[in-house]
Amino acid sequence: MRLVVTEEQEELRGALRRFFADKSPGTEVRRLMGTTTGYDPAVWAQMAGQLGLQGLTVPEEYDGSGFGVRELAIVLEEMGRALVCAPYFATVVLAATALQASGDEAARRDLLPGIAAGTTIATLAWTEDDRWDPGSIAMTARRSDDGWLLDGTKTYVLDGHVADLVLVAARTPGGLSLFAVDGAAPAGLTRTPLPVLDQTRKLARLDFAAVPARLIGAEGGAGPVLAHTLDIAAVGLAAEQLGGARLCLDTTVEYAKVRHQFGRPIGGFQAIKHRCADLFVQVESARSAVLQAAATADDAPGELPVAAALAKAFCSDAYFHAAGESIQIHGGIGFTWEHDAHLYFKRAKSSQEFLGPPAHHRARLARLVGIDTPTMAG
């Protein structure tokens, strides 16, 4: 299993950092936070047309580039570093992964090219009543003369208010199944943006009342599809958290070099040195966890559940700690609205909970390696 970052991957990182520095400065992030859609369509089109990011992991036969999770992790790390406001995670990490894992060749041919071209914004709707476990899904699908109809509610749907394509997990007589819904369904689908702590990441509640849907894959076959998709998503989110944590570390160390107190840089004080050193260790450990998880996804998918749970749990805590320490070491200015530190703190906290909190993934990790105890179930 290769854990070394190649020259080509570093070139990708450099190109992405330059692009996002230009397209996602702090002023633009704040502007998009206040919009209803939460992204810039022109930048979204450039991401697809100039960089091919939406088709990065889509196979070539569906008009994508066919790269792996290693490259996807680099993209997400740089997005997390710049707090990029775009429906990329929902479209590429969740929806495109689910379509590829579904085994439905007709659906792949019909839906993946639009995602790769950047003309289709997609998302995956599976959460209900604050529960991230697909086993708790209660939403139902019933047959109709023309296909299937969906009834029920999905919550915390990432970019669900703007998605052109919504993949929905629901129960049928045959078991848990996956369906595709047109985001512009003429009737029965109500999309309500939710109030969020992190305004850089938009969430929505979707209510379905006899909404027409297309079955994706086999009836009752969504369980393994969702499990694989959420493992890839956990790795992707860990990479995004790594990018944010690295930015917090870099800006904090730089500030400690230039902020003077008692006639010397505050970075010269032992207490600040120790805190920055601890941050460095956590961020580098998070980097190792992400590299391992991404390599596992590409080279040893059978071991992915363990690597994904470990990466999500560790990177969630590392990012939240880094964002909090950044505010503390910046002092008074770190608490102000004008400084970007609070934006990273909010993203860190929301990412910590998204896809399940660290305790959820640690308990899952314990079960996977066979050391589960009654006190860890939760």
pLDDT at 243: 98
pLDDT value, residue 330: 84
List, for residues 123-137, the tens digit of each pLDDT value. 999 999 877 888 889
- Please state, in angstroms and rounded to a whole number, the distance separating the CA atoms of residues 337 and 339: 6
CA-to-CA separations, 314 to 273, 282, 293, 318, in angstroms, rounded: 23, 9, 12, 6
CB 358, CB 310: distance < 8 Å: no
Half-sphere exposure of 53 (CA within 13 A, CB side): 27
Residue range 313-346, pLDDT digits in tens: 999 999 999 999 999 998 888 778 788 999 999 9
Task: Locate the DSSP E strands across 186-305.
Answer: 189-193, 203-216, 260-261, 264-265
Closest CA to 341 of 244, 265, 257: 244
Answer whether 89's CB lies under 8 Å from 240's CB. Answer: yes
Round to whole Å and give the CA distance between 94 and 80: 16
Rounded Cα distance, 287 and 181, in Å: 37
Residue 185: CA atoms inside 13 Å, Cβ hemisphere, count? 26
The confidence score (pLDDT) of residue 45 equals 97
Taking only the tens place, the pLDDT of each residue in 345-368 is 999 999 999 999 999 999 999 999
The percentage of the chain sitting over the pLDDT mark of 70, rounded to a whole number, equals 98
377 band by pLDDT with thresholds 50, 70 and 90: very low
Among 370, 269, 351, smallest CA distance to 311 is for: 351
Decide if 294 contacts 239 (C-beta within 8 A): yes
Cα–Cα distance measured from residue 115 to residue 163, given in angstroms and rounded to the nearest whole number: 11
Tens digits of residue pLDDT in 215-271 = 999 999 999 999 999 999 999 999 999 999 999 999 999 988 877 788 788 777 888
Query: What's the half-sphere exposure (Cβ side, CA atoms, 13 Å) at 259?
Result: 16
Q: Is the pLDDT of residue 376 over 50?
A: no
Contact (CB, 8 A) for 96 and 35: no
All domains in the chain, ordered by first residue: 7-121 (1.10.540.10), 123-220 (2.40.110.10), 224-376 (1.20.140.10)
Q: Which residue has the tokens 């950092």?
A: 17
- Please give the model's pTM, rounded to 2 decimal places: 0.94
What is the mean pLDDT of the segment spanning 52-62? Answer: 97
The predicted pLDDT at position 372 comes to: 63
Alpha helices in 93-221 (DSSP H): 97-101, 105-117
Q: Are 339 and 330 in contact (CB under 8 A)?
A: yes
Average pLDDT for 106-128: 97
Whether the per-residue pLDDT at 378 is higher than 50: the answer is no
- pLDDT at position 132 is 86
Stated length of the chain: 378
